[in-house]
Amino acid sequence: MRIAVASGKGGTGKTTVAVNLAYFNGIDLFDLDVEEPNDHIFIKGESKEETVYRKIPKIDEEKCDFCGICRDVCEYNAIVVLKDKAYTFPELCHSCGACSYFCPRNAIEEVDKPIGKIVEISSDIKLTYGLLEIGEAMPTPLMRAVKRKMGKKAIIDCPPGTSCPFVESVLDADVCILVCEPTPFSYHDLKLAMGVMKKLDKKFGVVINKHGLPFDIESKIQAPILGKIPFSREIAEKYSRGELLFDYEDLFKEIYDRAVSL
């Protein structure tokens, strides 16, 4: 079973839940927050890297007759064709390939653009994560490349928010754990995340982190509560040192058991 750990609001404890859940249940971990991966701070070991590319168009001006079809089919305004010039804006390109497909003169070749890398760490469990190149606008192509490494059993650490990267990271999960904290802000974003879960028809449950803060989130949540992690200075200190929560091993085993039986 693949379990995605997501939240909506950032900073609620996705990483805390994901790394401890993976470690204490012996499951391979995938950090899909490719813009800011951090699971490797907790799971250390020997690493192996590979570069990931996506396709962008390269226009051969010898063959091009500046007809402008490529520009017209581009949904993302990534190609400009002037009277005697044609050029591309790779950062706007979504690598759909329409330009080269429709070019009547075969003047567009699709070439590789590096967008980041996949890092695999061998430890007690295996951690695989993506690291997006600085300046690269789209995380999803790299996320998909990381996902291709995923087996049937996985814990997925998702990026925050509820937009495309979040959707991409929960898409292949069987179950989703939404991590929240007892604050109005987190509750607001949790509702958004739950809305996406329902649209995607995903099974999900909620973990309340920092349990004990005064805002009552628990009675408002209309979903199974899989576990509560106490609001504790000790946990925060361990997290800031990159340590796993060995005192809470049982809790993370329980959360896992409840998640798989959702």
Partner 1 sequence: MRIAVSTTNGGLDDKVSEVFGRAVSFTIVDVEDGEIKSIEVVRNDYAVRGGGAGIAVSQFLADKGVEVVLTGNVGPNALSVLNSAGIKVYRAGGMKVSEAIEKFLKGELEQILVPGDPKFGRHRRSV
Note the residues at the interface with partner 1 (CB under 8 A).
71, 76-78, 80-82, 85, 87, 89, 92
Q: Which is nearer to partner 1, 74 or 255 (CB)?
A: 74
CB of residue 158 to partner 1, shortest distance in Å: 24
Q: 71 vs 258, which CB is nearer to partner 1?
A: 71
Minimum CB distance to partner 1, residue 78 (Å): 6
43: CB partners within 8 A, 6+ apart:
19, 22, 23, 29, 121, 123, 125, 127
The residue (of 89 and 101) whose beta carbon lies closer to partner 1 is 89
CA–CA distance, 115 with 133 (Å, rounded to integer): 5
Return the C-alpha torsion angle 164, 166, 172, 174, nearest 10: -140
Considering the complex, state which of residue 132 and residue 156 has its C-beta at the smaller distance from partner 1: 132
Amino acid at site 123: S
Tell me whether residue 199 is exposed, middle or buried, using C-beta atoms within 10 angstroms of its C-beta: 0 to 12, 13 to 18, 19 or more.
Answer: exposed
Amino acid letter, residue 230: P
Cα angle 37-199-183, degrees, rounded to a multiple of 5: 55
In the complex, minimum distance from the CB of residue 117 to partner 1, in angstroms, rounded to a whole number: 25
Q: Return the number of the residue (91 or 254) whose C-beta is nearest partner 1.
A: 91
CB 27, min distance to partner 1, A? 38
Q: How far is the CB of 147 from partner 1 (least distance, A)?
A: 25
